[in-house]
A and B are shown apart, each in its own frame.
Chain A
Amino acid sequence: MPEGILCNKKTIDTKEQLDAILADASGNQYYEEMNHLDIDKVALWTTIRKTFKSRFKTWLEICAHCGLCAESCYYYLANNRDPKQVPSYKIKTTLGELIRRKGDVSNAFMQMCMDTAFAKCSCCTRCGVYCPFGIDMGIMFSYLRGLLFSQGFTPWEMKIGSGMHRIYRAQMDVTTEDWVETCEWMEEEWEDDYPGLKIPIDKENADIMYTLNAREPKHYPQDIAEAAVLFHLAGENWTAPSEGWEATSLTMFAGDWPACKMQVENVYAAMKRLKPKRVVGTECGHAYRATVIEGPYWAGIKTGQPPVENLHYVEWVAEVLRTGKLKIDPAKKIKEPVTFQDSCNYVRNAGLADIPREIMSYIAEDFREMKPNREHNFCCGGGGGLNGIGRYREERNIGFKVKRDQILATGAKLVVSPCHNCWDAIRDMEEIYHMGIKWTFLKPLLIDMVEVPEHLKPKEE
């Protein structure tokens, strides 16, 4: 049974394994090895029998091939209504066929499944809203990703992401020391402008525990400083955990089920250890999905709820603007036309659609909705891990056209995007299609707009 050195059924659990796969730039060797990877058909069918339960079985059986899901899928729309992009076709020819053949499938079939599960579906779950039976291909493709991962068929970057989580409990190589030192560094760099600014680590019984995305300490530490400034200005009693601060889950996108549990339990352990009243997560869509929506089930929590009440960042922003903890300087409201990118993960999948509208009513004078919007909004085009996968760049960029046209139709030159993934997608979209737009998280916008209380202003020299 040929197992590659880099592409194989083993998970990445050591630094040596991680270093080896990272050294294979773009995954050239990895994908070459994948061409020779055998399927352990017995193990695959055993996994299916244990995990393929009544909901998915029913969904696959009752699909009436009515085609109502077709127009709901942005890949179908962006690819000239190619019938092969109809969600029901995509799932029937992959997961459906895998079940029908009882796992007796070839390497080429598994690679086709991987290409479909990652490059023809971003798990945005929009199709589930339009199916008369509520059949959700996004959820089923997430499941298929898990089956593929168990057999070694996952994109190179996803395998790395899974390994990072297993080794660092973060999607990037950020240790506890790195994280805490970065917080200290951000305090130092920003305290001249915001005297008394602190990033309190491991404070017990705070009102808020803040969780993040590893990209923030690794590549964008200003995001941490901005969050701290806004908590500081709002007078919040807050903290961040030294461990369990990373709320994202590339393991979820990869389909590494055991590591999904490991990762989210690390975050829940921080909640239990520090006992905050509430948790606020950063401007990330999938961190919310992993921690709040899916996490409790991975962790086997019977209530289906995380150990502590969790808010997405937009909920915290709406609350502090509503209650006046943060006040917007009316002269600094956004004057130009501005639109909002609804993240699939916390708008469609968690029902937070009203919250961004409330925020926009406080900060923008000319807010323009994309059409469609709210739960019906289209994925940014980079969701489900797709932004980070080089192998599918062309497919992603074609899919971008739907979001591009939605944004352009609003006439807005600024897109507010409180989701790292959407933010990255819109950045890349601008780079590729030269739309003449800007994009932003809420944090830097708010910092420029809020009134700083007199006692928190820097003293004049």
Chain B
Amino acid sequence: MATAEFMGKTFTVDEDGFIDAYENFCPEWVQWVKTQEGIEEITEEHERVVTVLQEYYEKNGIAPMVRILSKVTGFKLKHIYELFPSGPGKGACKMAGLPKPTGCV
């Protein structure tokens, strides 16, 4: 697996840039993904999405459907894409430290 160094931390990432283990998630990881995803500034709304994804993942062991993400955050789909231009399944899951979703994504 490749590694990425950022803000004094070394992250091990999979072939698609997702963190190797959820346990290794930290605030620096969020900043690293921000630079990778071309997101200008991390807002409270980004943090809200990350928290909802993590809470769901901790309970279910998998990323939620976008519908659930929208329902719990109250954000419309278009707004989720404004926050994470590469989409909820890619950018948002990556920032939250979730594994890459499997299947045709």
Contacts and interface: CB of A to CB of B under 8 A. Distances in A.
Interface of A: 19, 22-23, 25-26, 157, 160-161, 164, 171-174, 178, 181-182, 185, 189, 213-215, 217-222, 248, 250, 387-388, 390, 393-394, 420-421, 424
Contacts of A390: 14-16, 100
B70 interface: yes
Query: Taking chain B's interface residues, is the majority helix, strand, or loop, or is none over half, making it mixed?
Result: loop
Nearest to A250: B103
Give the interface residue-count category, chain B: 20 to 34
A178 B104 contact: no
A218 B61 contact: no
Nearest to A164: B103
A429 to B, nearest CB: 13
B103 A393 contact: no
A161 B105 CA distance: 12
Given A218-B89, A219-B89, A250 B14 contact: no
Contacts of B62: 22, 173
Given A214-B103, A215-B104, 20 more contacts: A25-B99, A26-B20, A161-B102, A173-B62, A178-B67, A182-B66, A185-B67, A185-B70, A189-B77, A215-B89, A215-B103, A217-B65, A218-B101, A218-B103, A219-B66, A220-B89, A222-B77, A250-B103, A390-B100, A420-B104
B68 to A, nearest CB: 8
B104 A171 contact: yes
Contacts of A26: 1, 14, 20, 99
Interface string B50-88: 000000000001100111001100001110000000011
A65 to B, nearest CB: 35
A219 B15 contact: no
B6 interface: no
A421 B70 CA distance: 26
Given A390-B15, A390-B16, A218 B66 contact: yes
Interface string B23-47: 0000000000000000000000000
5 contacts: A25-B22, A189-B78, A219-B89, A220-B87, A424-B105
Query: Taking chain A's interface residues, is the majority helix, strand, or loop, or is none over half, making it mixed?
Result: helix
Contacts of B87: 219-220
A36 to B, nearest CB: 22
A164 B62 CA distance: 12
B28 to A, nearest CB: 19
Contacts of A222: 77
A1 B21 CA distance: 31
In the complex, which of the residues A160, A220, A250, A393 has the most CB atoms of chain B within 10 Å of its own CB atom? Answer: A220
Contact of B61 (A19, A171, A214, A215): A19
Contacts of B67: 178, 181-182, 185, 217, 221
Given A26-B14, A181-B67, A221 B105 contact: no
A123 to B, nearest CB: 15
Contacts of A189: 76-78
Nearest to B81: A222
A217 B77 CA distance: 12
Contacts of A164: 103
B72 to A, nearest CB: 13
A421 B103 CA distance: 10
B76 to A, nearest CB: 6
B102 A388 contact: yes
Nearest to B100: A390
A39 to B, nearest CB: 26
A215 B66 CA distance: 10
Contacts of A19: 61
A219 B101 contact: yes
A157 B103 contact: yes
Contacts of B100: 390
